[in-house]
Structure 1
Amino acid sequence: METLRLILRYAHLIGFAVLLGGAIVQYFGGKFRVNSTMAWGATIQLVTGILLSAPLGRDEADKPDPAKLAVKGVVALLIGIMVLVPYFRKRKGPEGAIVHKGHFLGIVVLTLGNAAVATFWR
């Protein structure tokens, strides 16, 4: 089970990198669009995050804090909604869906905030 948890954690980190990388490329390109890279990153993060929250044979001392899981879950759900709804609703060709600058920066800030919760909350 430990190997499965490590593989899921690795995939979760890849999802983070894909989501944030896609957003940074769009930002420095001067475009505020939700593209397919960001949609894939958000989806990978949601799926692996849900799977990582399962006990997976952990003993009581090794289980994550339920409050931390709740905060990460709510933030991940907000990110998923902010990325996937515009992507599937207003898709404008291969470049993705145009969103407002505040919406776009909200995705970036929530993504970085979720990583901070994962890193600093013990």
Structure 2
Amino acid sequence: MEILRLILLYAHLIGFALLLGGAVAQYLRGPIRINQAMLWGAIIQVVTGIGLSAPLRDGDEPHPAKLVVKLVLAILILIMVWFSRKREQVNPGHFFAIIGLTLVNAAVAVFW
């Protein structure tokens, strides 16, 4: 089961890289909008996060409160990305909120 957990963790990190990297690239490139990398990164984050939260280890599961906080943040990010994906331009505050929530989600994973 450890190999499955490591594969899910690897995919989770790829989702984070797609989400944050896609946002930074889009911000530097031109009009602020949601790109495909951000959309797929958000989807991968939620799916692999749910897989990582499954009790695959023997008594070494993360704290349930941490899992709930990360799930709520990931779903908020996915909703914000999903409903803005077809707009020609996104409000800068909305766009920076996606980036901020992504960074907060990573901080919860690292520091909690």
Amino acid at match of 2:67: L
Runs of 4+ in 1 over 6 A off after TM superposition: none
Q: Which residue of 2 aligns with 1:42?
A: 42
Q: Which residue of 2 aligns with 1:19?
A: 19
Candidates 66, 79, 94, aligned match of 1:81: 79
Q: Which residue of 2 aligns with 1:28?
A: 28
Q: How many residue pairs end up in the alignment?
A: 112
Q: Distance in 2 between matches of 1:23 and 1:31?
A: 11
Candidates 101, 106, 112, aligned match of 1:115: 106
Question: How far is 1:7 from its partner?
Answer: 0.3
Q: Distance in 1 between matches of 2:61 and 2:25?
A: 36
In our comparison, the structure showing a higher alpha carbon Rg is 1
Amino acid at match of 1:105: F
Q: Which residue of 1 aligns with 2:3?
A: 3
| Cα-Cα RMSD | 1.0
Task: Confirm or deny that 1:105 pairs with 2:103.
Answer: no
Q: Distance in 1 between matches of 2:82 and 2:107?
A: 22
Question: How far is 1:26 from its partner?
Answer: 1.0
Amino acid at match of 1:68: K
Amino acid at match of 2:3: T
Q: Distance in 2 between matches of 1:2 and 1:116?
A: 24
Question: How far is 1:100 from its partner?
Answer: 0.2
Amino acid at match of 1:53: S
Unaligned 5+ segments in structure 2 are none
Amino acid at match of 2:58: D
Write out per-residue CA displacement over residues 34-78 of structure 1, whole angstroms, 9 at most, x where no aligned residue.
01111011011110001100002x222x01100000100100010
Question: How far is 1:30 from its partner?
Answer: 3.8
3-state SS, counterpart of residue 12 of structure 1: helix
